[in-house]
Chain A
Amino acid sequence: MAALFELHSSRSGSSAVNASREHGSLDDALVRAAQQGDRSAFGLLYARYSRMVHGILLSRVPHSDVDDLVQDVFLQALPRLASLREVAKFPGWLATITRNRASDFHRRSKPLDEFVEETAAAETDPPDPSSPPSSHSTAEANAALDAILSLPESYRETLILRLVEGMTGPEIAARTGLTHGSVRVNLHRGMQQLREILGRKAAPLTGGEL
């Protein structure tokens, strides 16, 4: 606990300029502490990485299963953490466990294509004219999520982390272990494709509402 206190104290004095580097060193220290059995440190890693894990899962499995799988991922990571030799690789390592957990989910259930089609059918039903206005936003949100899910894997994961989880590009890079360049390209090209899809869908949706 004293070690954690030291970490917290060093973090509280950090400047924005050094934020990225200090986040790295903080995470490294947390991983080392968690490897030695410090569950508080593991809890802090959970607090810092659960959004990333949630976003990666949301880009691959049905929304209703994501929360349980987030817990699964961290429960899988805990006993394996001791085998991680380079603590700096924790973000990429955790992202890989997350993607593998999503693949495992589909191996035990259905292929992703079916899931995308099912959610598209289930979640983008035409809005009920008698329902309150909030359900229109929900239908719009579902349609937007479906559009993202129809993008290539690397684009949909990065866009979900940015648009759903509210992470910035640098945060996505730090949390997933990807380079800044890769994240920026994924965001740019993914957003371009998403605009095209949403543009195509706009006319039929408007017609449906009328």
Chain B
Amino acid sequence: MNKHPNDHENEIKMTDDYLWNGSGTPDREVQRLESLLVEFRHVDRPLVLPAESSPTSHKPRGLLLHTPWISRLAAAAVILLALVVGLFFSRRPSTPLETGPSWNVANLEGAPQIGSKLISTTQSAAKLYVGQTLTTDSSSRASLSENDLGEIQIDPNSRVRLLQSGPNHKRLQLDVGTIHAAIWAPPGQFVVDTPSAVAVDLGCAYTLQVAPDGSGTIRTTLGWVGFHLNGRDSFIPAGAMCLTRPKIGPGTPYFEDVSQSLRDALFIFDTTEQSTDAHSKQLDTVLSQARPRDGLTLWHLLSRTSGPERAQVYARFAALVPPPPGVTRDGILALDPHMLDLYWNALDLGDISLWRFWEQSSDPKSPASPPQMILKKQLLLKRSP
């Protein structure tokens, strides 16, 4: 057997290649250290910028469940829902094959599970494949990451399922629990299904919570998020939040620093029938308490009211945020889509073209082919100031 004089040198180089970029012959010592030290790795959390440091923004999470009557409703619904969910999951097919696109999973704490398999803290390359479910118990946390998407932290008592992981469409289902998402994929590519709404990332960080009764809460930290169900849309910019309920869909979004009375009034307004005294009374409170910043809320109320109520909302909205050129009272009262879009853009909370593009591209009847995407991009750039 011939011995090469540079065998040792080659061996070092191969080992170095693994240390350098993970290629070449795996170095067992480096691998051991990687899996040991992963527990010190950075856990992505939302960046809290000064403008969002209002006192109300530091309230504990889980507002929905801390509201007394909601808690009672939730408790009643939990028993029924648990039975339905249990039946639903028991009828699902067994663990799918571990092939195809997958996301990286890291154990941040406790014993998260993929299907029935525990993920250990030393496991550096756990994968969640399309169709698989990741669950955390009361003392477990995990993170999901995908190079072209971003990172999603899964809090305790959560269950998520990976539905889709194509190059331009990535989709999770959050059945229950809380996720914190930091997304750098293009707007509209990452979608989370919940029992009561679909959350569409429009860039780039938010927390989404689903209670056992299927109701949900979304809080946006950076960028903005669209909440959608059966044609009912809510846009939630950084610093704002929105509640959603099964069958009803997304509620009216509001900034977290609104007064408690506006918050309470909006909650009742969203859950009572139109044209009742209670409904009108709450609307009066919302309008009287609204600040220019709450144009966010008033814009959404335009399409959630009718007749004299809509005129009332428009009057207050126009007083706080002057309508931009091209927007007329009559057009808004008739819910002219183009005028509503112009008025939204005047709030400077995000370009609504991104949302319209997502709507178009998510419609199976009009898939967005690459040429369409380029045209749309050019259109967006023309429209931007």
Contact = CB atoms under 8 A, between A and B. Distances in A.
Interface of A: 1-6, 8-9, 11-12, 39-40, 42-44, 46-48, 50-51, 54-55, 58, 63, 67, 70-71, 74-75, 78, 134, 137-138, 140-141, 144-145, 162-166, 168-170, 184, 187-188, 191, 194-195, 198
A55 B42 contact: yes
Contact of B354 (A5, A46, A170, A194): A5
A39 B148 CA distance: 21
Contacts of A71: 47-48
Contacts of A74: 47
A43 B186 CA distance: 14
Contacts of A165: 41-42
Contact of A43 (B21, B121, B204, B383): B204
Contacts of B373: 9
Given A78-B49, A165-B41, 19 more contacts: A1-B354, A2-B381, A5-B186, A11-B186, A12-B148, A12-B168, A43-B205, A43-B223, A46-B222, A47-B44, A70-B42, A138-B39, A140-B36, A163-B33, A166-B41, A169-B21, A170-B21, A187-B16, A195-B29
B45 A168 contact: no
Contact of B21 (A40, A58, A164, A168): A168
Given A9-B377, A78-B49, A145 B204 contact: no
Contacts of A138: 39
Interface residues of B, number: 55
B40 interface: yes
B44 A50 contact: yes
A74 B353 CA distance: 30
Contacts of B41: 51, 54, 164-166
Contacts of B377: 5-6, 9
Interface string B231-263: 000000010000000000000000000000000
A2 B205 contact: no
A58 B40 CA distance: 8
Contacts of A78: 49
A166 B145 CA distance: 13
B20 interface: yes
B167 to A, nearest CB: 7
B37 A144 contact: yes
A8 B203 contact: yes
Contacts of A70: 42
Contacts of A137: 36, 121-122
Query: Chain A at the B interface: mostly helix, strand, loop or mixed?
Result: helix
Given A1-B351, A8-B203, A44-B203, A168 B47 contact: no
A67 B108 CA distance: 14
Contacts of B19: 162, 169, 187-188, 191
Nearest to B186: A8
Interface in B362-385: 373, 377, 380-381, 383-384
Nearest to B23: A168
Contacts of A198: 29
B30 A168 contact: no
A176 B303 CA distance: 49
Interface string B164-193: 000110000000000000111111010000
Contacts of A170: 20-21
B350 interface: yes
